[in-house]
Copies of this chain bind each other. A is one copy, B any other.
Amino acid sequence: MESKNFFVEQVRKIQNDLIAGLQSEDPSIRIKETNWERKDFLGHPGGGGRTVALEGEVIENAGVNTSLIFGGVNPEFAKKLGSETPEVWATGISTIIHPKNPRVPSFHANFRMIQSGEKIWFGGGADLTPFYPNEEDFRFFHQKWKNACDPYQVYESMKQSCDEYFVNSHRGTEMRGIGGIFFDYWNSGNMDHDMKMVTELSETLVPSYLPLVNKRKNEKYTEADEDFQLHRRGRYVEFNLIHDRGTTFGLQTGGNTDSILISLPARCKFTYQYQPEPGSPHEKMMEYYQPKDWTAL
């Protein structure tokens, strides 16, 4: 199907756009690129991917990965996917960005297309993890995604899915960040329509986030700001290793561990019964890690 190849090119384009954007925001950035190949379940060539790790003064660590895999899969896995055909085709982009300055939010996004037998679906989303209560940034981010979703009338539902997904449920209702959008097993029955929607959403990845890097990267910050950021990065680690489906599934099924765990922040902290200072901006920030109607605020 031609549109599959189109989407492969689209995720590669977004990967390049994002890397170029990060280089532009952080000229100190160093790139470590790994091109990997995969054998399929039967030992045949099964595609591969491009893992790009970045480290710099502004962007402490980031990963911008794409992959295109195909071929045989474990028949039990195919059944889990709801397919009788033990074959899969999948492509996608996944990124996670941890800036050094605690006034710049961390960011995660991914978009993917999967086919197994007769079934085709899309998945993905984007979410923001800020560490300082700059409410205007949160509104900016959500508004960007609302604008991209509105032609398809999916913002409300995708925002809600995101609010439900990124919860550290072992810590009650506390979210990893302030959400964004999230969708999975997406198939409206109209492939062209879905492809157009997901392509447009993927085009929002860069402009929803890089302006926030640009705006905040030179802001002065305090030791207390950094301490709070490092503890919230600890919660990020908790979410990714305990709850995130992609991470736990990837590690259990023998995925490339380094590529999967590129999502973890370079540094983080854990403290027993951690609490931000009463009356601090960080205590205020804790209130934002709950679902809110951002674009109406």
Contact = CB atoms under 8 A, between A and B. Distances in A.
Interface of A: 32, 34, 53, 61, 63, 170-171, 230, 234, 237-238, 241-242, 248, 251-252, 257-258, 261-262, 264-273
A171 B257 contact: yes
A251 B63 contact: no
B272 A32 contact: yes
A269 B267 contact: yes
14 contacts: A32-B272, A170-B251, A170-B252, A170-B257, A171-B257, A237-B237, A237-B241, A238-B241, A238-B261, A242-B251, A265-B270, A266-B269, A266-B270, A267-B269
A280 B237 CA distance: 29
Contact of A272 (B53, B170, B241): B53
A266 B258 contact: no
Contacts of A272: 32, 53, 61, 63, 258, 261-262
A170 B242 CA distance: 14
A171 B260 CA distance: 12
Contacts of A252: 170
Copies in the complex: 2
A266 B269 CA distance: 5
A262 B267 CA distance: 18
A34 to B, nearest CB: 8
Contacts of A248: 242
Q: Which 10 A-B residue pairs are closest in the complex by CB-CB distance?
A: A241-B241, A264-B270, A53-B272, A170-B251, A170-B257, A262-B272, A258-B273, A241-B242, A267-B269, A171-B257
Nearest to A34: B273
A271 B32 CA distance: 12
Contact of A271 (B171, B251, B266): B266
Given A61-B270, A170-B251, A265-B270, 18 more contacts: A32-B273, A34-B273, A53-B273, A61-B272, A63-B272, A230-B267, A237-B237, A237-B270, A238-B241, A241-B241, A241-B242, A261-B270, A264-B270, A266-B270, A266-B271, A267-B268, A267-B269, A268-B270
Nearest to A168: B257
